[in-house]
Amino acid sequence: MVERANKPKPPNLSSTPGLPPQATVTFSEDNSRVIAELPTGETVEVLLYGATVISWKDASGDEKLWLSEAAKLDGSRAVRGGIPIVFPVFGTAPDHPQTKDLPQHGFARTSRWEFLGKSTSESAGRATDEPTVKLDFGLSSAAPGLDPKATAHWPFKFNLIYSVTLKRESLTTSIVATNDGSAPFDCQVLLHTYLRVKDITTVNITGLQNATYIDKVDASTTKQETAPTLTITGETDRVYTTTADTSDAADDGAVTVTEANNTPRFRVTRDNLSNVVVWNPWADKAEGMADFAPKDGYKQMVCVEPGSVGAWQSVEGGDGFEGAQTITLLH
């Protein structure tokens, strides 16, 4: 479990004097977001509302995540784009007693999280070859920023730690959900990642062949992916259950996103997350979503979302569940 660090004070968290350049962490003027930058120029920006990663740029300033131009960043609704956190329910679950009254995708993405602190490659007292910065965020059943719907409809004692780790060529997001009460609770977790692409019609997704999936566009029919490559040619909403053992480095169940002429873009690996959701609203659905802009923005995005949503994770009192994804840039 991630240890809490001392909460920093805005506006700037500087590097230790005498060491080579290290990552810097700053706050926005209104303290609504945390921005980390590596000395090599890569950046990540996390909105405290939902602990939502809303930007990830490489050293040249090229954005890797898609964020709707109409996304609400003021806490009035969940953010459309970036990496929202889905917890403790994926979608809605009207037949599940514990979560049937919760809003879609739960309350983690609509609560204000606390920034717990940073750690960098200087934290051990020496610089490493690869600069790194990790940002920790927390949300608990006692937190003042918790969405009121959570306490009203999900009366469990819990603690969430969410960590965002930026390296030169990758971004890792991990979550630990701990049951601080005596009664067990069920939960689902998903990292709802919107990847930015140049042209959805040229995107190829590999790593899902032979996996079963629920096709939510086709009446939630269960199917099997027979093609070695998935292309997006219309509205797509699939929940894949992979057969790979994601704890085995030799068979990590990675999903790779390439574009035109097999140009590699992203490699998504998972830790303790057995599902991958692939989503693109396409034209008609995008048109009907008020916070989706521009309306043809579906051409520049694809959601590849690691999660544990195919079944419920039962977490006993004093126990916890954790999962993570790493998105690696490919060249």
Domains of the chain (ranges; CATH) run: 12-329 (2.70.98.10)
Q: Answer yes or no: is 196 a known binding residue.
A: no
User: What is the model's pLDDT at position 9?
Assistant: 47
- Tell me the C-alpha to C-alpha distance, in Å, between residue 103 and each of 54, 193, 295: 22, 19, 25
153 is catalytic: no
The verdict on whether 316 is a catalytic residue reads no
- Read off the pLDDT band of 117 (50, 70, 90): very high
Which of 192, 235, 259, 322 is an active site residue?
192
End-to-end CA distance of the chain: 33
- Name residue 88's amino acid: P
Measured distance CA(6)–CA(223) in Å, rounded: 48
Give pTM, 2 decimals. Answer: 0.91
Please, are residues 258 and 204 in contact by the beta-carbon 8 Å criterion?
yes
Q: How confident is the model at residue 53 (pLDDT cuts 50, 70, 90)?
A: very high
Closest CA relative to residue 15, chosen from 44, 38, 35, 32:
38
Q: Among positive and negative, which fits the CA dihedral 22, 28, 29, 32?
A: negative
Is pLDDT of 17 > 70? no
* pLDDT at residue 122 tops 70: no
pLDDT of residue 130: 86
Check the annotation: does 238 bind a ligand. Answer: no
